[in-house]
Chains A and B, each alone.
Chain A
Amino acid sequence: MNNKPTVFVVDDDLDMRNSLKWLVESIGLTVASFPSAESFLEAGPPARPGCLLLDVRMPGMGGLRLLEHLRARGSSLPVILLTGHGEVSMAVTALKSGAFDFIEKPAAHQVILERVQDAIALDRKNHTRASEKAAFEDLLAQLTQREGEVLERLVDGEITRDIAQAMAISERTVEKHRERLMHKMQAKSLAHLIRLVVEHRK
């Protein structure tokens, strides 16, 4: 996973496209620009983390339909819609369709960059969460069936005696299982373990 974020720009207006590229590259971000929604889709799944600066009004597949298409495909790429002034109703529709935000054109460059950075931060966070979750799932997979059961009961707040009784094993065995699963899950404490489980199961 490349950690350098990419900003995608989709706008049919060449000047606008180039100027956005110029602006965003000014803060050291990589920009990939496309003249249409179709050409963006043709380029394949976008690199992450990143965000998409998307013009609403384009011939062919417009910005809104591209957004819907992405969401339908399950992509979580944050999308900032570039709308004309007063096209608020469209922007609201866009937000409902899952856009990260919208910006009225023309906007101060600070506003554009701020939103781009916010979007990237979100995507990165999403991305981090996603990789953490993947790692957590990997660790979880190493547990034996017994250790998994003990973990479930610990997360549910049962004490050792109850667990032993419920599982018809000795308290000593329960403690052994716990030690082993905490080691496997790389948990520093019981509290840490429970937090990990709860966070990734949301």
Chain B
Amino acid sequence: MLENVPAWLPASQALLPHGTCLLWSPGLMSLHVASDALIGLSYYSIPFGLAFFVRRRSDLAYRWIFLLFAAFILACGTTHFFEIWTLWRPDYATQGVLKAVTAGFSLSTAVLLWPVLHRALELPSPKQLAAVNAELTREIASRQEMVRRLEVEADERRQLEEKLRRNEARLRAILDTAVEGILTIDEQGTVEMCNPAAARIFGYSAEEVLGRNVDRLMPDPHAEAHRDYLDRYRATGNGSILGRVREVTGLRKDGSTFPVEIAVGEFANGGRHFTGILRDITDRKRAEQAVRDSEERLQQQQAELLHVQRLSTAGELAGMMAHELNQPLGAIANYLGGITLRYGPVLEAHPSLAEAIEATQRLSARASQVVWGIRDLVRRRESGREWVAPGLIVEETLALLRPELERRQIRLQLAIPPALPQLWGRRVQLQQLLLNLMLNAMDAMAVTQAERRKLTVRARSGGAGAMEIEIADTGSGFKPELAEQLFEPFVTTKPEGIGLGLAICRSIAEAHGGRISARSVLGKGSTFTVNLPTDNKEPARHE
């Protein structure tokens, strides 16, 4: 059999090569060699695949078992190659060692595989892993989204805070510069906020007001009422003053009180709070009072004027009647006086005639006294004299006429120098004088075109101890020859006039030691001039 052993094979001990068992049958030999070679090659190929797998899957769990497995397969492959070797060379010892090594690897692999297998079963499958992975990816994405959102939110919050800061600064600026006092209180009435204006209005510093009860800013009955009011509102919600502007009384630090206008609002911020916006309306009140006073004064003036107008008309009539009656009465007295002088001896001879004449004289004197008595009765009811400023009288008179001037579309031109001497006279009478002249002027302009209507009131100092007031219109005027007659009683150019207005004007001017005159251009307008003395009060003394 030895001859069948290739020469290049090392000789061994006296063992038979395995081929011997196969009787060196070429068929059997080929079969074995081919099979073993193929198995060995196959075995050898596997560890490379495994190595490739292990290398590529760096995340692989239990890498060592793969390596062990690779070693085990490599060893199995080697035993098969060695089978081929032993067909010809009976190196069974080596084969045995090889098989033992293989067995070692096999056993190790088999033994170690189970626990690993057990644990490997718990490892997720790639599909699971993929699912988990997808889940994770989703989660990461959602977290990133959340982070983004948080960042946006943080950004918004920053902006909001910035805005809040700005708002607060703005609010602070508004509060600090507001003219109105602004206070907030809680529902107990404790002051939580007080701007500088509020503190100033009450004469405190803001620190003195903050934390104190608001009722210290009100005088006593009001403070009490405010406490009650707050209690009631807290309990019942009734009696809301919210949203209304009211006038109340404030108490300053120095104890003085003043009118306050206040608007109250409510807001909830952990309990009820109230905001009050308040204003010191002392000045406004004063102005309102002044307006009321001046209106009252105007009404009073109107009433006075009306009264004086009636009195003057009555006085003028009485005066006129007195004059008209006294002319004949005076003539009677003169004639009788002449008779007593011329016919003294006759009268002495006829005492009864002398008596009759004497009685007639007495009666005519009595008649004139009666007449003057009536006039004096009217006169006595006139007001007394005082120093009056001409400019003021003009102003007061115009104040009565302004609405009427406007209604009649009459322009007013005033030329009143500020420094005019004062007049000693009856204020209301002088007013009436001017009023009559102005009303006449206005009536005269009824036929004038609206754009030409102009009332001019001029005053000027007329040299030492005299002044002049001129009232001019752009009305119909009068014939120059009427200039003197105009002031006579019952002379009028007006259809409804009774002709006493200018007579009264003349009486008033003369009663003040002055005079009145008129001039006119027919169709162009008239000018009435009043001259009044300003130097002393003598003319008035006797009346």
A155 to B352, CA, bound (A): 66
**Are B372 and A85 neighbours in the complex by a CB distance under 8 Å?**
yes
Do A86 and B331 contact each other (CB < 8 Å), given the known contacts A26-B342, A92-B538, A109-B337? no
B327 is an interface residue with CB less than 8 A from chain A: yes
Q: Are A106 and B542 within 8 A (Cβ)?
A: no
- B463-501 residues with Cβ-Cβ distance < 8 A to A are 484-485, 488
Give the residue of B333, B341, B342, B539 whose beta carbon is less than 8 angstroms from that of A106: B333
CA distance A105 to B375 in the complex (A): 14
CA distance A86 to B342 in the complex (A): 32
**Would B334 and A85 count as touching, CB distance under 8 A?**
no
The reply to whether A85 and B511 form a contact with Cβ atoms under 8 Å apart is no
| A27 cross-chain contacts in B, Cβ below 8 A | 341
Name the interface residues of B289-330: CB closer than 8 Å to any CB of A.
Answer: 319, 322-323, 326-330
Contact indicator B333/A85 (Cβ below 8 Å): no
B337 engages A110 (CB within 8 Å): yes
CA distance A32 to B485 in the complex (A): 26
> Which residues of chain A have C-beta atoms less than 8 A from B249's C-beta?
none
Residues 153-178 (chain A) with a chain B CB within 8 angstroms: none
Nearest chain B CB to A98 CB, angstrom units? 16
A85 to B327, CA, bound (A): 11
Determine how close the nearest CB of chain B comes to the CB of A72; give it in whole angstroms.
16
Cβ of A106 and Cβ of B365 under 8 Å apart? yes
Q: How far apart sit A59 and B337, CA to CA, in the bound complex (Å)? A: 28
A86/B327 contact (C-beta < 8 A), A23-B337, A108-B333 known = no
Instruction: Known A16-B327, A59-B485, A93-B539; judge A86-B375 contact (CB<8 A).
Output: yes
A88 touches B542 (CB 8 A): yes
Task: Please tell me the size bucket of the interface on A.
Answer: 20 to 34
Kindly identify, within residues 73 to 124 of chain A, every residue whose CB is under 8 Å from any CB belonging to chain B.
84-90, 92-93, 105-110, 112-113
- Chain B's interface size range is 35 or more
With both chains docked as a complex, state the minimum distance between the C-beta of B383 and any C-beta of chain A, in angstroms. Answer: 16
Which residues B336-365 have CB closer than 8 A to chain A? 336-338, 340-342, 364-365
Using A86-B376, A89-B539, A89-B540 as known contacts, say yes or no to A60 and B334 having CB atoms under 8 A apart. Answer: no
**Contact of A84 with B513 in the complex, beta carbons under 8 Å:** no
Q: A25 an interface residue at 8 Å Cβ cutoff?
A: yes
Min distance, Cβ B480 to any Cβ of chain A, angstroms: 13
**Which residues of chain B have C-beta atoms less than 8 A from A106's C-beta?**
326, 329-330, 333, 364-365, 368
Which chain A residues (10-69) contact chain B, with CB distance < 8 Å? 13, 15-16, 18-20, 22-23, 25-27, 57, 59-60, 64
- Minimum CB–CB distance from A67 to chain B (whole Å) comes to 13
Asked if A108 and B337 make an inter-chain contact with CB atoms under 8 angstroms apart, the answer reads yes
Contact A86 B328 (CB under 8 A): no
Contact B511 A89 (CB under 8 A): yes
- CB atoms of B488 and A59 under 8 A apart: yes
- Which chain A residue has the least Cβ–Cβ distance from B376? A86
List chain A residues, Cβ under 8 A from B375: 85-86
Candidates A18, A59, A60, A89; contact of B513 at CB < 8 Å: A89
Query: Is the pair B513, A16 in contact by a Cβ cutoff of 8 Å?
Result: no
User: Cβ of B233 < 8 Å from any Cβ of A?
Assistant: no
Contact A26 B338 (CB under 8 A): yes
A90/B322 in contact, CB under 8 A: no
Q: Contacting B322 at CB < 8 Å: which of A85, A112, A113?
A: A85
On whether A112 and B334 interact (CB within 8 A), knowing A16-B327, A85-B322, the answer reads yes
- Of the candidates A18, A26, A57, A90, the one whose C-beta lies within 8 Å of that of B331 is A18
Residues of A within 8 A of B (CB): 13, 15-16, 18-20, 22-23, 25-27, 57, 59-60, 64, 84-90, 92-93, 105-110, 112-113
Q: A86-B372, A90-B510 are known contacts; what are 9 more A-B pairs with Cβ within 8 Å?
A: A16-B331, A19-B335, A60-B484, A85-B368, A89-B543, A92-B539, A106-B329, A106-B333, A107-B333
Query: Considering the complex of A and B, which 10 residue pairs feature the smallest CB-CB distances, nearest first?
Result: A109-B337, A106-B330, A19-B334, A89-B539, A19-B331, A26-B341, A88-B542, A26-B338, A23-B334, A15-B331
User: 11 interchain pairs (CB within 8 A)?
Assistant: A23-B335, A26-B342, A59-B485, A59-B488, A87-B510, A89-B511, A89-B542, A106-B364, A106-B365, A109-B338, A112-B334
